Amino acid sequence: MTEVWTQRLKTMADARGACKICGERADAYAEVIVRGRHPSQLFSCNSCGFVFIDPVYWLEEAYAAPETSLDVGSVSRNLDVAELLARLLGKVTTRSDLFVDFGGAHGLLVRLMRDKGYHFHLYEPVAANLFATFCVADQKAFPAYRALTAIEVFEHLPDPRRSVSEMLEWSRCIIFTTELCPEERPKPSNWWYFALEEGQHVSFFTQKSLQVLAGRLSLSYSSLGGSWHVLAPRGDPISMIEATTLRARSVSFVGLPLTRFVRCARRAWGGMTRTQQRESLTLRDHVQASSIVLDQLRGQQTARHLDEAMKQAL
């Protein structure tokens, strides 16, 4: 019997489970084929509506190339997310506050936010850091992070409670995006966000599931409209970010086909004034990076000279 069929039978026998958010009963309601060849099932929680794929056993394969070739909107998305984040953070944080972008892939958002004057650092366990080489998050080296951003990360989490607890070690304020699961639990073929051909999306939240998650972590949950959400301590200014303004303006567009994406983004932000300006960190970062690179080169040179001196001495 092939491994695939072994997994399939295991899945079929396990048609009931516990919700990964609230712990209540979750039932399997549809079979799925992930990445064209991995059978699994969609579960839906009877209490909070959280939907998840289980079992998940293909992630190593799915992340072999961290940024899927199907995500053609990643650059546009980062540009737009940076605009909105600057708008959100400008009024409720200080110029010296530190931020960490959790699961920030190649660091493009970190670079864009630093260009706008926000002290962002990157935490990324999988993808190569291409744009934020000298801006890596470090809990020991830096004081507490004012907020953590997780852009299109939550739907990737096979164990959301554990991962969110890990995020809270960085900051108690989490600003994140994820598409909300439709109220009628969606069939595999009826919701693009399952992205079964990629196999990286495995958790799908409802507002109720996010409220339950917040309650369990002694945080408040607020929706900023569309796919934007905040988990933060009650009373923290970040938990009260211009929700009413953003609710009126923000739309859900992350992952839309390119043409619709552009139309929606223009409609949402076309009339916005730019956020209050902060002095860009770009030049400062360049000077710092140059200094580090020079030190490394000098170090290599010194090491080479030492090596040659040792050879001559021998």
What's the rounded Cα separation, in Å, for the pair 118 and 106?
Answer: 18
> Do the Cβ atoms of 289 and 212 come closer than 8 Å?
no
Task: Between 19 and 108, name the residue whose CB sits nearer to Zn ion.
Answer: 19
**Of residues 50 and 261, the one with the C-beta less far from Zn ion:** 50
Least distance from C-beta 58 to Zn ion, angstroms?
Answer: 24
| Minimum CB distance to Zn ion, residue 200 (Å) | 22
Q: Which C-beta is closer to Zn ion: that of 149 or that of 209?
A: 209
Sites for Zn ion among residues 13-32 (CB under 5 A): 19, 21-22, 24
C-alpha distances in Å from residue 105, one per residue of 133, 181, 279, 287: 12, 24, 25, 24
For the bound state, the minimum distance from the C-beta of residue 204 to Zn ion, rounded and expressed in Å, comes to 12
- Interaction pattern, residues 122-161, with Zn ion; x per rule: CB under 5 A: ----------------------------------------
Say how many residues touch Zn ion, by CB under 5 A: 8
- Contacts with Zn ion, 33-72, as mask; x by CB under 5 A: ------------x-xx-x----------------------
Alpha carbon of 288 to those of 163, 236, 284, 293: distances in Å?
32, 33, 6, 9
Q: Considering beta carbons, is residue 19 or 84 the nearer one to Zn ion?
A: 19
Q: Examine residue 86 and tell whether it contacts Zn ion (CB under 5 A).
A: no
Structure tokens given for 31: 């079979």
Q: Tell me which amino acid residue 286 is.
A: H
**For binding to Zn ion (CB under 5 A), which residues are involved?**
19, 21-22, 24, 45, 47-48, 50
